[in-house]
A and B are shown apart, each in its own frame.
Chain A
Amino acid sequence: DSGVTQTPKHLITATGQRVTLRCSPRSGDLSVYWYQQSLDQGLQFLIHYYNGEERAKGNILERFSAQQFPDLHSELNLSSLELGDSALYFCASSVTGLVVTGELFFGEGSRLTVL
């Protein structure tokens, strides 16, 4: 158990819909990272938040947005869903804002299926 909690674990929805994925980082960790894992794209970095502020953006679509709240939990919002958005979405946390100074602790992921 990494200490990172993601909900829901599984989600099935239809095209055009909107979903919210939630992540609670390990106690004391200030950074939250979101990654998307799919068969064709592999593990893609989406976005990084540190202590409530956006730190870095990766290949995140405009239809996707995220935020980190004062209690440090984070939400990833996916809207106007398309079939290609079906993937496993991982949240990871770390103590600092610099990944090189510590490891990332990953949650078990939220599997999104868009029908």
Chain B
Amino acid sequence: AQSVTQLDSQVPVFEEAPVELRCNYSSSVSVYLFWYVQYPNQGLQLLLKYLSGSTLVKGINGFEAEFNKSQTSFHLRKPSVHISDTAEYFCAVTSLSPSNTGKLIFGQGTTLQVKP
């Protein structure tokens, strides 16, 4: 079984500052990792995903994440945030094991609060 832990429930940051949202996962099999964003009163939207290949993954809106297998982490980063980045961010994991087909396991979410 897989699980995801997002280490920070809230991350306040000033506009134009860099930010890192931390995500650790647990799995006994190879995993595939995702970051989703949820803006207020909206559904979730995919930011980026890691399936294989380069461990540094670039996504939309200037976000990137690095897959670290030894640390079992998939932290999300942005070098300079905007007010519009204020949202809830979810890390998610899945695998190719038959019991997990079609199922994304989500972390508890991290609220990014960008202050002017």
Contact A56/B102 with A43-B90, A43-B109 known, Cβ cut-off 8 Å = yes
Question: Among the interface residues A4, A35, A43, A103, which one has the most CB atoms of the partner chain B within 10 A?
Answer: A43
**Do B103 and A56 touch (CB < 8 A)?**
yes
A15 interface hit (Cβ, 8 Å): no
Query: Count of A residues near B, CB < 8 Å?
Result: 25
What B residues does A100 contact at CB under 8 A? 32, 51, 94-96
What B residues does A19 contact at CB under 8 A? none
A99 interface hit (Cβ, 8 Å): yes
Stretch at the interface among B15-23, B39-47, B67-75, B77-85: B39-47
Contact A42/B109 with A56-B102, A99-B94, A103-B49 known, Cβ cut-off 8 Å = yes
What A residues does B105 contact at CB under 8 A? 45
Which of A50, A103, A109 sits near B102, CB closer than 8 Å?
Answer: A50
**Do A98 and B101 touch (CB < 8 A)?**
yes
Per-residue contact bits, chain B 91-103, to A (CB 8 Å; 1 contact, 0 not): 0001110011111
The range of chain B's interface size is 20 to 34
Q: Give the docked Cα–Cα distance between A109 and B44 (Å).
A: 10
Interchain nearest-CB distance for A101 vs B (Å) = 9
Instruction: Give the residue name and chain of the B residue nearest to A104 (CB).
Output: B104
Give the number of residue pairs across the A-B interface with Cβ within 8 Å.
65
Q: Give the docked Cα–Cα distance between A31 and B42 (Å).
A: 20
List residues 44-67 of chain B with CB under 8 A from any CB of chain A. Answer: 44-46, 49, 51
Residues of B near any A CB (own CB < 8 A): 32, 34, 36, 41-46, 49, 51, 90, 94-96, 99-109
Residues of A near any B CB (own CB < 8 A): 2, 4, 31, 33, 35, 42-43, 45, 48, 50, 55-56, 58, 90, 92, 97-100, 103-104, 106-109
Given contacts A100-B51, A108-B42, 9 further A-B contacts (CB under 8 A): A4-B43, A33-B102, A48-B102, A55-B101, A56-B100, A90-B44, A92-B44, A103-B46, A104-B46
